[in-house]
Amino acid sequence: MEKNNKPFYKKAWFWIIIIILIMMFNGGESANQLSIDTNGPVAEVTYEPIAIEKLFDDLNTNPAKAENLYQDNYIEITGKINTIDSDGNYISIESSSDKYWLESIMCYIQNQDQLNVIFDKAKGDKVTIKGQIVEIGEIVGYTIKIHSIQ
């Protein structure tokens, strides 16, 4: 009797291990851990306006290069709200273009003033966010700490 073995990448245990590893290497940061350090001196920050489409073009073309270009940068982006977290920890915004309809940027809310702005918004509303890119990855996309939202 011949044993029919599936390739290892088609087995459930393989994908469970992959998911656990992604969660471990993702840092396990919760929204509460993503906060702006207000203990040091406040430096003047310049936010670079950039299109969401440009961010995703760069990430999809070469993730390593995108991380090198944008990690820890201060940016200003405009897009439409895709998700509003019910706990008020984050929103996700997406491009107005149909080209990137499955991709969005996670934006973590840092204080009550930002949350109050979100309370007056709805999914699909256009917003402009100034913040710092704190994480970039092929799977997670971009993660931003919000400094201001309009």
Domains of the chain from N-terminus onward: 45-149 (2.40.50.140)
**What is the enclosing helix (H) or strand (E) of 137?**
strand 126-137
Full-prediction pTM beyond 0.85?
Answer: no
What torsion do the CA atoms of 45, 49, 50, 51 make, to the nearest 10 degrees?
140
Count the residues in the chain.
150
Q: Where are the alpha helices (DSSP H) in 12-144?
A: 12-25, 52-61, 63-70, 112-119
**pLDDT, position 33:** 43
The pLDDT value recorded for residue 140 is 84
pLDDT, tens digit, 9 for 90 and up, residues 18-54:
777 776 666 544 444 444 454 555 578 899 999 999 9
Q: Over the stretch 113-131, which tens digit does the pLDDT of each residue have?
A: 999 999 999 999 999 999 9
Which residue would you say has higher pLDDT here, 90 or 40? 90
Higher model confidence: residue 78 or residue 38? 78
